[in-house]
Chain A
Amino acid sequence: MFKKFFHQFASPKTFYFVSQKIFPYLFWLSIVSLIIGLIWGILYAPVDKVQGNSYRIIYMHVPASFAAQSLYMMIAVASFIFLIWKVKLAAYVVKSVSLIGASVTFLALISGSIWGVPTWGTWWQWDARITSTLILFIMYLGLISLHNSFNNLDKADKFISVLALVGFINIPIIKMSVNWWSTLHQPASITLSSKPSIDLAMLYPLMICIFSFLGLIIAIVLRAIQYEILLREKNKKWIQSIS
């Protein structure tokens, strides 16, 4: 019984129609709450004691990094499912999410740099979190370019799944080792998103921004997966009956 449920989920056709239904709600809800969260955070949240008004970039930076990491988790799980159970839909997920993940990580890096200028006076720092975000970006780029270099898409799926899993193991290792490295040097004196110690008045809009941004990104991901399904399964009858 569980197998039947699982098989149903794994069908691209079911996925296509279910996400077609979900998309409008998810998309508009996320956009509206994101706008609310941003306006609240940028205009109404209190001024920070240490950083002044420049801290407000976290309302874009933190959602972006959170989304970047969640998307990579999604890719890692999908790769695992594809390699072990050979579910084709999982491979479509890995392929379509890589591009979106790369863009979101890029956003996180840029916003982090912009935050760095007034806060530490530099565009870049080699601490654990920033370095592992950069590595995450490189991994996403690697996935995209690897898939694009193949004509045979079934082969390409296998390879990016392997690369994604290897990267998944690697990113915590990089984070640990850079942490380990920076204990020798001057540790970063300011933690980037000190969630427990942040003022509640700043925390609420931040949480709204994080989750609504994630919702928005997932809506975009659904669209991308639908596109991938259309592209790959274009010979199937159910697609020809839609168009």
Chain B
Amino acid sequence: MRNDYVLAANNIGYSINNTKLFQNINFEAKKGESIHIKGSNGSGKTTLLRIIAGICSSSNGEIIIDEEISKVMVGHSNALKDYLTLKENILMDGSFDIKDTNLFLESLNLKNKLELKIGNLSFGQRKKASLLKVFNNNSDLIILDEPCVGLDAKTQSYLIEFLKKELTKDKTIVYSSHIDMDLDSIEVYL
């Protein structure tokens, strides 16, 4: 790794069918830093986050990321199974036994929803459930795509407090959000 950067992007560009979505994007992040990806609708924020996560590949340029660091990502889709209950989804994720899970469930007001199928939860509750993996994680790199969508004000501030704490624990966060999350981030414009 170059110096002590966790994540670096060199001249990233992405195009579909020979039309460019974005190009010449450069940024670097060390441990304990966060990056806020900004742009208008359709400018490619989600695509860039997916490139960082390793799901998409860029058309040109490269992402330099430490192979050994663990990532967690919450995107637009919840990665929860509609026909399973919340408890079963968490069990499948392997994180139910983590001692703090119950604490998070209570703070998110989901403790009494454990036996409900995901299909029966509201949009906001599903969003909170998908954010559980961020709370439960021990990953070095947290990637969030519009995490505050659908959350009520109390949950929003709870999430932001949690992320601030993660930053002090030397984690790195990359996110896109139309709401200002007040994390003192490096800003990248698309």
Contact = CB atoms under 8 A, between A and B. Distances in A.
Contacts of A154: 16-17
A152 B19 CA distance: 11
A235 interface: yes
A67 B107 CA distance: 70
Interface residues of A, number: 7
Nearest to B18: A235
B172 to A, nearest CB: 31
A233 B16 contact: no
Contacts of A234: 18
A234 B16 CA distance: 14
**Interface bracket on B:** under 10
A152 B16 CA distance: 7
B16 A235 contact: no
Interface in B1-55: 16-19
11 contacts: A152-B16, A152-B17, A153-B17, A154-B16, A154-B17, A232-B17, A232-B18, A233-B18, A234-B18, A235-B18, A235-B19
Interface in A210-241: 232-235
Nearest to A156: B17
A59 to B, nearest CB: 43
A153 B16 CA distance: 8
A234 to B, nearest CB: 8
Ranked nearest first, the 5 interchain pairs of A and B with the lowest CB-CB distance are: A153-B17, A235-B18, A152-B16, A152-B17, A232-B18
Interface string A133-156: 000000000000000000011100
